[in-house]
Amino acid sequence: MIKDKYQSVKNHLQKIFDVQASIALLNWDQETKMPKGGAQQRARQISTLSGIAHELLTDRAFKSKVRDLNECLDQLNTEESVNINETFKQIERAEKLDTDFVTRRSALVSETYQAWTEARAKKSFSVYQEQLDKLIQLKKEEAERIGYNGHIYDALLEEFEPGMNSAMVDKIFDGVKNHLQPILKKINAQKKPDDSFLFKHFNKDKQWDFGIDLLKNMGYDFNRGRQDISVHPFSTGFGPDDIRVTTRISETNFSSMVWSCIHEGGHALYEQGMLSQNYGLPMGSYISLGIHESQSRLWENHVGRSKAYWEFHYPKVKNVFPEQFDGVSLNDFYAAANRIAPSPIRTEADELHYHFHVLIRFEIEKALLEGSLKTADAESYWNEKYKEYLGLDITDPNSGILQDIHWSLGSFGYFPTYSIGSFYAAQFHAQATKEIDNLEEQATTGDHSKLLTWLQGNIYKHGKRNSAEGLCKELTGEGLNYKYFEAYVQKKYGELYEL
């Protein structure tokens, strides 16, 4: 009886995921291939499928089976228990949002995304403002339906980083301010390394080919993935055997393509590392977006910005672009790749200033949701914060409040996971370095197989078997601890800038 009931629940979960994967595919197409004229009908299609997925998840008969199984977890094995318990939590959250709300939200997200793309084309926040405000009001309604104990923001943050709340995020950013601001002050007093050679002309097609090579070297499986161009780099998946990435290429900024490829490749490796046998189940899904981000940041910064990494790849760079890097040594390139200077673009920010980009978005999101900031004033508030934290004057909204896609997708509560992920990444990489002999030397030969195997065995294949904090304790012996990121920063930038 238990076995049959579990199999029925499993089949139903995979059916739900089939619908969700179809939605993801439509979203991928919308951001990469869809003709502009298809926006309205695409919004309808996504809205319809979102409603169907919600109805399947909140189906009474399905919930009854999940509830029955959740009351006898001791009769299930570990993986089955995780699948049932996590599904029960999903149902409880989903039931607070009826099908009409989910359908309205999906349609509004599609419309807001289109308004965002139009606003970017016209370089005008006002084109986007009204539509964004509608979505913010809907997210407030969503938070109230879900419920929260502290700040309204907590209800939305829970979706992306279970177990985390805004007070905990505030504390994390207090650490960022207290630790990073003094370091940045010291670095900014030093002479900056020359990075002008990264801003020459770089042929788009040659960059594309080089990016593909970087992804293959990481272990990204192109038999189960592909790369495309999008306005905002992202990764998405429809099951572990179809995980896709996108990149953005500038012919006058070599860095843009390189580190977006490595970053999104890190996300994709996590998803490709899920077990196919857990397709559509919590055991085949990521733990949290903080853990997901830890993988992209680990590959992008701890691997992709290391000197050892470029000892192998820089000769290839010089071979592809001999004129642009003529007379530029490996040390010159490494210093430029880790140049610390404020930038208006989050995705192109150095790894220290990056956390102030996240902090600004977190503060704005909280203010918009609690009502202390009006949407009409969001752009001016954004610009004020960039002046306060980064000393930058923002004059172009595309390099300001319009640069990110997240709010147009309704992803309020998402941004803190970027910084959380960076701190997990430092802790995980420190542990990998302890457990894998000669990890840095392996990177100098372009061999990342042992690191990938370590990540697959310790993180990827386990899905939601553990919580984010539980995984961290199991893997490193303690919960998330900022000291690992601090030690990494002190060592790396202490040497680069002779602090």
Asked if residue 250 and residue 174 are part of one domain, the reply reads yes
Per-residue model confidence as pLDDT tens digits over 75-113: 999 999 999 999 999 999 988 988 889 889 988 998 999
Asked if residue 205 and residue 92 are part of one domain, the reply reads no
The CA distance from 404 to 116, in Å, is 9
- Check whether 56 has a pLDDT greater than 90: yes
Closest Cα partner for 160 from 412, 441, 435, 481?
A: 412
Asked if residue 462 and residue 381 are part of one domain, the reply reads yes
Asked if residue 222 and residue 119 are part of one domain, the reply reads no
Give 281-321 as a 3 state SS string: CHHHCCCCHHHHHHHHHHHHHHHCCCHHHHHHHHHHHHHHC
Asked if residue 280 belongs to a domain, the reply is yes
Asked if residue 156 belongs to a domain, the reply is no
Instruction: Give the residue carrying structure tokens 């609690």.
Output: 370
Residue 350: per-residue pLDDT: 93
Asked if residue 51 and residue 123 are part of one domain, the reply reads yes
Share of the chain above pLDDT 70, in %: 100
Residue 103: per-residue pLDDT: 87
Asked if residue 98 and residue 176 are part of one domain, the reply reads no
- Check whether 1 has a pLDDT greater than 90: no
CATH of the domain at 119: 1.20.58
Q: Look at the pTM and tell me if it is higher than 0.75.
A: yes
Per-residue model confidence as pLDDT tens digits over 261-275: 999 999 999 999 999
- Check whether 347 has a pLDDT greater than 90: no
CATH of the domain at 189: 1.10.1370.30
Catalytic sites, residue numbers: 264
Range of the domain at 36: 2-147
Interval 297-319 mean pLDDT? 97
Closest Cα partner for 94 from 135, 138, 57, 65?
A: 57
Tally of CB atoms within 10 A around 469: 19
Asked if residue 118 and residue 243 are part of one domain, the reply reads no
End residue of a domain, out of 147, 181, 212: 147
- Check whether 450 has a pLDDT greater than 90: yes
- Check whether 175 has a pLDDT greater than 90: no
Interval 313-320 mean pLDDT? 97
Asked if residue 159 belongs to a domain, the reply is no
Residue 391: per-residue pLDDT: 92
Asked if residue 248 and residue 127 are part of one domain, the reply reads no
The CA distance from 185 to 189, in Å, is 6
Asked if 303 and 432 touch (Cβ cutoff 8 Å), the reply is no
Asked if residue 155 belongs to a domain, the reply is no
Asked if residue 174 and residue 125 are part of one domain, the reply reads no
Instruction: Give the residue carrying structure tokens 């299609």.
Output: 45
What is the tally of structural domains in the chain?
A: 2
Asked if residue 131 and residue 42 are part of one domain, the reply reads yes
Asked if residue 449 belongs to a domain, the reply is yes
Asked if residue 190 and residue 86 are part of one domain, the reply reads no
Asked if residue 30 and residue 135 are part of one domain, the reply reads yes
